[in-house]
Amino acid sequence: MGEYFKLKQIPDSKLLLTARPITDAYCKAWLSAVYHGLKDNEQFCENFTNLFWSKPHQSRIICAIYQDKYSRQEGESVTAHYLKHSNLASNLQPPLGEDDLISTLISHNPIHVQKKMIGCNLKNIQEARNYLNKMDGGFGEPARLSGQVIT
């Protein structure tokens, strides 16, 4: 958020401009309730982060990263599933290690996909994403191996 304030050059006196990009009704209601008690953008960021990116919220994200499984029925590609979880992981404090994240996200896939990914000896998140993207045949398509849709 601090980068957003710098990019948009929002001075502390224009804190209400912060509400413009917020679309979630709960977030807008929260800002409306606390707005008059906020002295600057930094205090807004701190309060917003404490409420919406708290330790319990991050714990739920970590649980999802470790426990979720890819499911074709959810309508997303293997790559989209991977990107969703790796993006969430990139915002955790402290961040997950890259090796841990890769092995965890590999485990989201069916066993035959896991074996292929492990056999590729993927060294970083970008390599894993590229491999999954090749399996998908591009974004948005369910991953296919040997002509069969991965389920």
- Please check whether residues 90 and 145 belong to one and the same domain: yes
Domain count along the chain: 2
Global pTM value: 0.65
- Please check whether residues 100 and 41 belong to one and the same domain: no
DSSP helix/strand/coil, 6:
helix
Q: 18 Cβ partners below 8 Å, 6+ apart?
A: 5, 10, 31, 41, 44
- Please check whether residues 105 and 78 belong to one and the same domain: yes
User: What angle, rounded to 10 degrees, do the helices at 111-119 and 98-106 form?
Assistant: 140
- Please check whether residues 72 and 98 belong to one and the same domain: yes
Q: What's the pLDDT tens digit per position in 28-45?
A: 898 889 888 888 778 888
Q: What's the pLDDT tens digit per position in 87-141?
A: 899 889 888 888 899 999 999 988 888 898 899 888 888 898 888 888 877 544 4
- Please check whether residues 60 and 47 belong to one and the same domain: no
The range of the structural domain enclosing residue 93 comes to 56-149
- Please check whether residues 73 and 143 belong to one and the same domain: yes
- Please check whether residues 94 and 145 belong to one and the same domain: yes
Lowest mean pLDDT among 6-20, 66-80, 88-102: 6-20
- Please check whether residues 66 and 134 belong to one and the same domain: yes
DSSP 146: T
